[in-house]
Structure 1
């Protein structure tokens, strides 16, 4: 008898829903017996390149970061571990070229810059050794060219400049550097340095207010002169004017579940690609027009397998491919734009 009443109640609720649907849709109740599944509003913009790299066995440590030299078609990967090459160099097609290890202690973030005259790779080193707590510049073969910060001495000082846990950096074509220093250490700050390492502006206070940070983890610059910071602990992206450092606003609505761990723009500037570490998820967010941040709007989601843990990513300016360093899976994966999803980047 209980089952009969349960069945009758369920049937009654179903018919009631049909009646409500017919009232608001203008259709007869029994014209359609099944509800249609709502169409997804998100787009599918990328596919996984399952063949990249051609020999994944070269990943022998924990892959923390990746950087693309689009001018020369190279992909740099930094990994942690004992008695392994800390930096691996691949082609964008996935072929392994070389590895090197000198003077890299504990890499966290990296950035590649390239001109016809010079190829450079910048690495943030959070290690405790003699080269730790610094940002270092290398040539493409691993020769140390420049050290920013006070080697081996963690701190908050500005003169001389000290770092504690520099998470990542972005280098403009002018040579200006944007450094986020605060992966859970003493500092929670964003620093802009000139090419000759003069301090241009600084935001350096721990907190939840405008221009304050809790684990600033990634930084990028768009073509409109705005600096975007993944303020991971505060579950938001903060935006600044690159010339003055003025705070322009923040996005929070897209990151209610977890803060962003990495931010990079697509080459056309149309989308911001965001990694969320513990959710093992990538978000593709619509970039706002100049002068108005507007609301945060996710246009596409790439859900990775559990415990993949995407840490930092980079985007090829030549092909639009997204390379993701995954500390859980201990690999880098490549996602390529679907045909027709983007204009040609070449």
Structure 2
């Protein structure tokens, strides 16, 4: 499928190979007499390469695609405890299970997804794969997209939510689902509202949607805006061990932290412009920034302005920032802009690229990092 202008713009970024890092004990420090702790963290984050290190190395030529498969953006990653993971990517078939050796053992979902976006596993082991719909006006996708699909791990299609081809914020439709996560009570929370979006899509209404594992609507939370508990392009979701939800509120250039009732607790702006988030059980907090400094379309009420903005989140660099769920910063991965982000409890970190895949030493759009 031909990419629209927006996707071409995004894909045109040149990626260097990732040099991933994660955490010896201690937190990077920055001098800043007279600055608040928040201001110090922002200052630190804006010049990360001089203050944060990297004890990880990339596995080259991992994974290996099936015969006839082609790489597409690796947007959704769900690791297991064996060193492998489930991957949702923008190619066919979109859903793949990859073992620790990089071999694809399962593959399904052909022809069901326009723009893969959002991937999670519920407490029964079923997979939820989002389809945000096209990023711009694309007549070839008419009547498709703006849904989320549920599959068994054997590839059985169990249900689809949303109305194909219709972008609306309602109980039975989505603006454009971008992420999902399992809540502490077993329900599923979905981030709804991708930027950019087609002209015939709803241009406001960004929110979080709660559904049951059976797909029944429970409630919607938030509205489009820049205030506490408001969202502008929510792009990734992750829970910590205390039941707090971290939302990549991308077009607001912040991570929002919500409690178990999805009420606002805090927001952090020192992890860059977040596209991907993952949280480990030990409190390690990993955020991918794929857009800082880029000239990209966005909502008219974005901090930098609408579609004609010169740069998003000026002063920050793309890359991966690693810290703790207490808000501290420790490490930085320069020269890469993944959106898909995951880490397992074996110490492996996975990065899903949305462009520049041919330049990656991994051989494609998925990168696996292990401790040196």
Any gaps of 5 or more consecutive residues in structure 2? 1-48, 134-140, 292-316, 358-364
Shift of 1:131: 5.4
* Residues 58/210 of structure 1: CA separation in 2 closer, same or farther (3 Å cut): farther
Shift of 1:227: 0.7
Tell me which structure has the larger Cα radius of gyration. Answer: 1
Question: Per the alignment, in what secondary structure is the counterpart of residue 194 of structure 2?
Answer: coil
Question: Of residues 188, 196, 203 in structure 1, which corresponds to 2:206?
Answer: 188
Q: Of residues 86, 89, 94 in structure 2, which corresponds to 1:86?
A: 94
Whether 1:123 aligns to 2:134 is no
1:157 is matched with which residue: 142, 157, 170?
A: 170
TM-superposed CA distance for 1:99, in Å, is: 2.6
1:71-114 C-alpha deviation (Å, 9 max, x unpaired): 56542223325xx3222321133112243233522243343437
Change (3 A) 1:252 1:43: same
| SS class of match (1:180) | strand
CA distance in 2, matches of 1:110, 1:323: 15
Q: Gaps (5+ residues) in structure 1?
A: 1-38, 289-295, 339-346
Aligned residues: 278
Deviation string 1:129-163 (CA, Å, 9 cap, x unpaired) is 555211111122322112222333321112xx210
SS in 2 for 1:213: coil
User: Is this contact kept in 2: 1:266–1:320, CA < 8 A?
Assistant: no
2:182 aligned partner: 171
Q: CA offset at residue 297 of structure 1?
A: 2.7
User: Match of 1:105?
Assistant: 113
Higher RCO (CA-CA < 8 Å; seq separation 6+): 2
Equivalent residue number for residue 285 of structure 2: 272
Whether the 8 Å CA contact 1:45–1:300 is kept in 2: the answer is no
Q: 1:58 to 1:313 in 2, by over 3 A?
A: farther
Change (3 A) 1:58 1:337: farther
The alpha-carbon deviation at position 123 of structure 1 amounts to: 0.5
TM-score in terms of structure 1 length: 0.72
* Alpha-carbon distance change, 166 to 262 in structure 1, aligned in 2, over 3 angstroms: same
Rounded Cα–Cα distance in structure 1 between residues aligned with 2:324 and 2:106: 37
Alignment of 1:313 with 2:341, yes or no, is yes
Superposed, which structure 2 residues align to 1:14-93 within 5 Å?
A: 41-54=51-64, 60-71=70-81, 74-81=84-91, 84-93=92-101
1: CA distance, partners of 2:344 / 2:68: 21
Relative to 1, partners in 2 of residues 1:177 and 1:183: Cα closer, same or farther, differing over 3 Å?
Answer: same
Contact 1:64 1:109 in 2 (8 A): no
- Whether the 8 Å contact between 1:105 and 1:129 is mirrored in structure 2 is no
Aligned residue number for residue 328 of structure 1: 355
Aligned to 1:261: 275
Which of 259, 265, 281 is residue 248 of structure 1 equivalent to? Answer: 265
CA contact (8 A) 2:150 2:159 kept: yes
Separation in structure 2 between the aligned mates of residue 275 and residue 304 of structure 1, nearest angstrom = 12
Assess if the C-alpha contact under 8 Å between 1:188 and 1:206 holds in 2. Answer: yes
Structure with the higher fraction of residues in strand conformation: 1
